[in-house]
């Protein structure tokens, strides 16, 4: 009877540890575990298409996360998506001709903003806008263009 009771306690403790581990794994995958601290400075970029970019998506430079997307909005005048990025203070020497692109990472298609530095001696400041941007590549549009071009080729061959 005592052996059975201690086995049940061990199994219960193991299950509880498993649930705690799954919780932390889910927090890491969903980007919710990182605090959205207010230190840093904000930059904005305007894109024709942001795909499935979301708030808290990473902002990277040379593969290193230097910030996160803090806001995504739509400008009804220019019909563009406006992405606000919070960059960590220690990366305060981004040239004003920095190029922002939206990339897709991994098999699940998580999107993030990648920055490529320019060569200017003038740095971006809090509230500045990145003027050089490249929108996300949407797989459906690429497939549609490919099929359309193949259809045109076959119609001109006849």
Regarding whether 120 and 78 lie in a shared domain, the answer is yes
Concatenated DSSP letters of 37-88: -S-SEEEEEEES--TT--TT-EEEETTEEEEEEEEEEEETTTTEEEEEEEEP
The answer to the question of residue 19 being in a domain is yes
Regarding whether 60 and 28 lie in a shared domain, the answer is no
Regarding whether 127 and 65 lie in a shared domain, the answer is yes
The answer to whether 56 touches 32, Cβ cutoff 8 Å, is: yes
How many domains, the chain? 2
Regarding whether 48 and 21 lie in a shared domain, the answer is no
Regarding whether 56 and 26 lie in a shared domain, the answer is no
Regarding whether 96 and 130 lie in a shared domain, the answer is yes
Q: Walk along the chain (158 residues) and give the pLDDT tens digit of each residue.
A: 667 888 888 888 889 888 888 888 877 766 555 544 568 999 999 999 998 899 999 999 999 999 999 999 999 999 999 999 999 999 999 999 999 999 988 766 789 999 999 899 999 999 999 999 988 877 677 778 788 787 777 776 66
Regarding whether 115 and 86 lie in a shared domain, the answer is yes
The answer to the question of residue 100 being in a domain is yes
The answer to the question of residue 149 being in a domain is no
pLDDT at 78: 94
pLDDT at 66: 95
Supply 52's token pair. Answer: 């499935």
The answer to the question of residue 94 being in a domain is yes
CA distances from 117 to 84, 93, 98, 120, 123 (A): 18, 10, 4, 9, 10
Regarding whether 116 and 63 lie in a shared domain, the answer is yes
Regarding whether 125 and 96 lie in a shared domain, the answer is yes
The answer to the question of residue 120 being in a domain is yes
Residues spanned by the domain of 105: 41-144
What is the Cα Rg of the chain in Å? 23
62 vs 37: CA distance, rounded Å: 23
Regarding whether 69 and 20 lie in a shared domain, the answer is no
Regarding whether 81 and 24 lie in a shared domain, the answer is no
The answer to the question of residue 116 being in a domain is yes
The answer to the question of residue 152 being in a domain is no
Q: What is the pTM of this model?
A: 0.69
The answer to the question of residue 21 being in a domain is yes
Regarding whether 66 and 97 lie in a shared domain, the answer is yes
């Amino acid at each position: 009877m005592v052996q059975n009771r201690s086995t049940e306690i061990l199994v219960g403790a193991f299950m509880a540890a498993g649930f705690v581990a799954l919780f932390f794994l889910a927090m890491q995958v969903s980007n919710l575990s990182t605090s959205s601290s207010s230190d840093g400075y904000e930059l904005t970029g305007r894109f024709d298409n942001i795909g499935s970019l979301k708030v808290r998506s990473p902002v990277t430079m040379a593969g290193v996360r230097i910030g996160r997307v803090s806001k995504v909005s739509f400008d009804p005048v220019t019909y563009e998506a406006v992405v606000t990025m919070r960059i960590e203070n220690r990366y305060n020497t981004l040239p004003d001709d920095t190029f922002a692109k939206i990339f897709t990472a991994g098999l699940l298609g998580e999107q993030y903003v990648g920055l490529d530095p320019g060569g200017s001696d003038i740095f971006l400041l809090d509230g500045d806008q990145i003027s050089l941007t490249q929108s996300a590549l949407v797989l459906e549009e690429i497939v549609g263009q490919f099929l359309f071009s193949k259809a045109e080729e076959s119609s001109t061959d006849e």
